[in-house]
Amino acid sequence: MRPEEAYIRTLPKAELHLHIEGTLEPELAFRLAQKHRVSLPHASVAELRAAYDFTDLQSFLDLYYALADVLRDRQDFHDLALSYLERAHEQGVVHTEIFFDPQTHTARGIEFGTVVEGLHGALLEAERRFGMTHRLIACFLRHLSAQDAERTLDEVLHYREFITAVGLDSSERGHPPAKFAAVFARARRHGLLAVAHAGEEGPPEYIVEALDVLQVQRIDHGVRCDEDPALLQRLARERVTLTVCPLSNVKLCVFEHMTQHNLKRLLAAGLSVTVNSDDPAYFGGYILENYLAVAHALELTREDLASLARNSIAGAFLDEEAKRRWLSAIDACVAGA
């Protein structure tokens, strides 16, 4: 094991940008396809993996939504989440905030409760076995209507005790955050926190809208913020957490090569940048592989890596006491390295 790998593994980290449907590995997809007697668009695991050659966000989403069709019962959602949680634990994730896309499932006739109960069972198991804490974030699909998001919020509210926040994902271009102003306002009135994907493929104005109109606590991706100097300054001043996903950005051609990624420049500009895996089964790695990829391509120092881990704890939906505990653990890890 390279020294950075051991160091990154031992740093306590929170993962703040992880779509549970994006942890569906081809092997599990084939097992579930067989179980439910549904056919997949590819004949074998190898053929399926070979199709993970994306040109942009939409080319990925088309396959991602197609494969999600194998997720049918509570046990499927439990198994999906548990295999992610085991891997995250091995890589030093101590707290995870998981996105799920209710509409991807309810549109196929899968009950909202089937999804939440399956995921929740796995999260409780990870807490018991590993001491790993968690939050669940229900995302609205922005390519669907605001009305559809309102109906989804009704279901979220039925399961309010399991869900901490709402989010916004799917095809960004042409679907500005303001389209969902009313449903986010209603979610906030019910005490839900909020996050939104913005500035991944969409313009920096979408980041401003997510902050000002949706009043989100964090921005998912946000890497296009550096096209607007005033926004960059604001994000630094307000210490807004950006949940950056380096391998995703290269796979979806947001940056041509990891050496061109702006993560290090954003860190140097004082932004609260974090590293996350987004859809690890599709993008070539979990959180550790994401840290390693930027560490090597951008020549990050151990202090940079510790800052990324500290930012992940600071930006998590954890109470102040838990944050203090993890930040001290990071200090101890840095001192002992």
Candidate list 248, 262, 272, 290; residue touching ligand HPA; CB under 6 A: 248
Cα–Cα distances (Å) from 315 to 17, 150, 240, 245, 274, in that order, read 11, 27, 8, 15, 8
Question: Of 258, 260, 271, nearest to 304 (Cα)?
Answer: 271
Which ranges in 11-142 belong to alpha helices (H)?
26-36, 45-50, 57-67, 74-90, 102-106, 112-130
How many residues sit close enough to ligand HPA to count as binding (CB under 6 A)? 10
The neighbouring-strand residues paired with 275 are 244
Closer to ligand HPA by CB, 249 or 330: give it: 249
The partner in contact with residue 170, picked from ligand HPA, Zn ion, none with C-beta cut-offs of 5 to 8 angstroms by kind, is: ligand HPA
218 lies in the binding site for ligand HPA (CB under 6 A): no
| Tokens read off for 299 | 């020549």
76 lies in the binding site for ligand HPA (CB under 6 A): no
Q: How many residues does the chain have?
A: 337
Q: Is 15 a catalytic residue?
A: no
Residue span binding Zn ion (CB under 5 A) among the ranges 42-50, 70-78, 275-283, 304-312: 275-283
Q: How far apart are CA 155 and CA 207, in angstroms?
A: 27
Q: How far apart are CA 241 and CA 246, in angstroms?
A: 15
Provide, rounded to whole angstroms, the least separation between the CB of residue 78 and ligand HPA.
20
CB-based burial of residue 151 (10 Å sphere; 0-12 exposed, 13-18 middle, 19+ buried)?
middle
The residue with its CB nearest to ligand HPA is 169
Provide, rounded to whole angstroms, the least separation between the CB of residue 279 and ligand HPA.
5
243 lies in the binding site for ligand HPA (CB under 6 A): no
The partner in contact with residue 155, picked from ligand HPA, Zn ion, none with C-beta cut-offs of 5 to 8 angstroms by kind, is: none
278 lies in the binding site for ligand HPA (CB under 6 A): yes
279 lies in the binding site for ligand HPA (CB under 6 A): yes
CB-based burial of residue 138 (10 Å sphere; 0-12 exposed, 13-18 middle, 19+ buried)?
buried
Q: How far apart are CA 326 and CA 72, in angstroms?
A: 36
25 lies in the binding site for Zn ion (CB under 5 A): no
- One of 200, 209, 303, 321 is an active-site residue; which one? 200
Provide, rounded to whole angstroms, the least separation between the CB of residue 19 and ligand HPA.
4
19 lies in the binding site for ligand HPA (CB under 6 A): yes
Provide, rounded to whole angstroms, the least separation between the CB of residue 293 and Zn ion.
17
Q: How far apart are CA 40 and CA 34, in angstroms?
A: 9
278 lies in the binding site for Zn ion (CB under 5 A): yes
What is the bridge-based pairing of β-strands 165-169 and 133-141? Answer: parallel
DSSP 170: S
Provide, rounded to whole angstroms, the least separation between the CB of residue 220 and Zn ion.
6
Candidate list 78, 134, 175, 197; residue touching ligand HPA; CB under 6 A: 197
Active site amino acids: 200
Which residues make up the interface to ligand HPA (CB under 6 A)? 19, 22, 57, 169-170, 197, 200, 248, 278-279
Q: Which positions lie near Zn ion, rule CB under 5 A?
A: 278
